Structure 1
Amino acid sequence: MIRVVVADDQQLIRAGFHALLDSEPDIEVVGEASTGAEAVRVARVERPDVILMDIRMPDGDGLWATGEIVGDPALAGTHVVIVTTFELDDYVAQAIRAGASGFLVKDTEPVELIRSVRVAAGGEALLSPGVTKRLLVRVASGLKAPADLSVLDPLTERERDVLTLVGAGLTNTEIGERLFLSPLTAKTHVSRIMSKLGARDRVHLVVVAYETGLVQPGWY
């Protein structure tokens, strides 16, 4: 059972998401929050698999709450998904860097919202390739200098190649085709990279690829 918390300052949004998700046999909404501080409290009590987090909330916004949740070792298994009104919300890139596992827009189709919760719970990518590129261009443009390249030292040459393609927004199947690997082998490489780098999910591998200069805006 996938345990979900819905954090949004609009009661109608919370109620709609709650009803929709609870109707699925493998998803249970275990809590709601209307403020950032409340989202953190509920997360620490319920330890959900996924939190759907609004950005603009009182008493600690979603960006602050995301950082608090991601920074709590007891919530290592919790994935925060930002839910925003606009695809290019100014705070989205900051939220990804704070530890969010992806984002959705509030007018997402119900079937896509349900799918996204399942994807996030599994630690998979929750950004379409087009959105990934736009978002990470913003992340990269905010960097004053590349991150310490020593973070890549644990990776083999093949794993660096795979990480570069993850950063470009390619799926496991596409990575396999590019490197002449099976999709399963590509997935295994991605899993090992995540373990070696301590990445929470695939989205954060994309961030590492940009921050270390493996991928730069406009390359793909």
Structure 2
Amino acid sequence: MLRVMIAHQENSIRLALRMYLQAYPCVSVVCEVSRAGELLRDASLCQPELILMSWDLPDFEKFSVTGHWHKTSGSPSLNQVKGVIISALHKLPSEPTIIVTGNLQEDLFPVLYAGADDYLYQGEMPAKLAALMDAIQPPDVS
């Protein structure tokens, strides 16, 4: 069973994703969050193997990255902070695959540079998400 976390700021999108994923018997949605502040905490508790995460999740700007980074580079950009969070998620014991969703095609390179495994542009999301889920769906052995 593939353990999935949905991280999106809009309740209707989380609901639609959950309903869509329920069509796959090998998938279990183990947690949902609506803010970046919940992301690391809840991911460490539910240990998902796949994280579907919005690039526009609120609260990323509230994360404080201190120490060496501030001394050498000044304050990090929002994309750098997102990269630190994605890197931390990859280090969870469940070693999740991180798929980021977004509204802008221009976000593809910042998302991949930040360390995400793939980017789903919301304009193409249904078809690409279906292909992704079909790729992880085990073959029917009837």
Query: What is the TM-score with the length of structure 2 in the denominator?
Result: 0.70
Q: Specify the alignment match of 2:113 in structure 1.
A: 97
Q: 2: distance between equivalents of 1:69 and 1:44?
A: 13
1:1-220 equivalences under 5 Å are 1-60=1-60, 64-65=81-82, 67-71=84-88, 73-75=91-93, 77-89=95-107, 92-108=108-124, 110=126, 112-117=128-133, 119=135
Contact 2:52 2:99 in 1 (8 A): yes
Quickly say closer, same or farther: Cα 1:79–1:118, change in 2 above 3 A.
farther
Superposed CA RMSD in Å reads: 2.6
Q: 2: distance between equivalents of 1:79 and 1:59?
A: 22
Q: CA deviation at 1:78?
A: 0.5
Could you say which structure has the higher helix fraction?
1
In structure 1, give the amino acid aligned to 2:105.
E
Aligned residues: 119
Q: Which has the higher contact order (CA 8 A, sep 6+)?
A: 2
SS in 2 for 1:71: helix
Identity %: 24
Query: What is the TM-score with the length of structure 1 in the denominator?
Result: 0.47
Could you say which structure has the higher strand fraction?
2
Which consecutive residues of structure 1, in runs of 5 or more, have no partner in the other structure?
122-220
User: Which structure: larger Rg?
Assistant: 1
